[in-house]
Chains A and B, each alone.
Chain A
Amino acid sequence: MKNSRPVLLVEDDSIDAMTVRRAFKDLKVTNRLDHCLNGEEALAYLREPNNQRPCVILLDLNMPRMNGIEFLRVAKADPQLKTIPVIVLTTSHEEQDVVESFKLSVAGYIVKPVDYKKFVEAIRTIDLYWTLSELPQGQSGVEDESVQTAAIDRG
């Protein structure tokens, strides 16, 4: 990713979360991966002043307590959180989910490939894109050129 801030994964399924973690490791993505189990937990994480602001959020849609769309409605109405790019990472092909997500200004909607190799390729594509894209400044706002170069070399 463009900077060294963590990536926040919001995902209730522990196997899926492990797969993302494994793909990050296989691709040598240096950003720390923080993990919340649902939208409610993610909002609490994002609003905790001691937590570093993530560079991007990877969001599952189908989750208990607060699902992905409900999370987006709250996060995108909050001036402190709305600028963080959110990429939906889901198994849902439903057109209604795509429309709802983009109306709430998501920055990508990726249907998780079942095959692990294809999944790694998807994460590689996401990593390269968000390494080339500028990101809004967070509380830390530190840009790290060496992180960027490393990801382009990986890409």
Chain B
Amino acid sequence: MNRSRPLLLIEDDEVDAMTVKRALEDLGLGDCIVHLSNGVDGLEYLRSHLEELPRLILLDLNMPRMSGLEFLKELKSDPDLMGVPVVVLTTSKEAADVQGTFHYGVAGYMVKPLDYADFVQVMGAITRYWDLSATPAKV
């Protein structure tokens, strides 16, 4: 993953956020993550980084204040932000969540495995894929 532009993690659960950071560290990518605990802070961060947007957003769905879906609606209606790819990282397997988020153009939907080794495998697949894919630095 391109380390000059971070990966933005939006996750309210501290333990889950730590697990993501730990997995990235185990993959040798620990220094490329910015963590914010809700969508409101996420939007504020993005709007203050329009000249160099994150490479990718990893988005939890079930969060207080602003849910992942509400965040997506806001992001995808903002011409300055709509080009940032979003990958859902959640425990929800609900078909309605899958359908709803793909309706808003997410670029992947990963259900978090409970087993840590499986989780590292998922994070490895995400980072390899987005290392291969270009993403816009500025929309």
By a beta-carbon cutoff of 8 Å, the part of chain A in contact with chain B is: 76, 82-83, 85, 93, 95, 98-99, 102-103, 105-111, 122, 125-126, 128-130, 132-137, 152, 155
Contacts and interface: CB of A to CB of B under 8 A. Distances in A.
B95 A137 contact: yes
B4 interface: no
Interface string B12-26: 000000000000000
Contacts of B99: 83, 136-137
Given A82-B103, A106-B107, A129 B126 contact: yes
Contacts of A95: 136
B108 A129 contact: yes
Interface of B: 76, 79, 82-85, 93, 95, 98-99, 102-111, 121-122, 125-126, 128-130, 132-136, 138-139
Given A102-B83, A103-B82, A134 B129 contact: no
Contact of B102 (A93, A109, A136, A152): A136
Given A83-B103, A103-B82, A103-B83, A133 B110 contact: yes
Nearest to B133: A108
Given A76-B105, A134-B109, A134-B111, A109 B135 contact: yes
Contacts of B111: 134
A85 B122 contact: no
Contact of B125 (A102, A107, A132, A134): A132
A135 B135 contact: no
Contact of A129 (B82, B103, B129, B134): B129
A98 B134 contact: yes
B139 A99 contact: yes
A85 B103 CA distance: 10
Residue of B103, B133, B138 with highest tally of chain A CB at under 10 A: B133
B136 A102 contact: yes
A139 to B, nearest CB: 13
B105 A105 contact: yes
Contacts of A109: 133-135
A21 B127 CA distance: 25
A130 B128 CA distance: 12
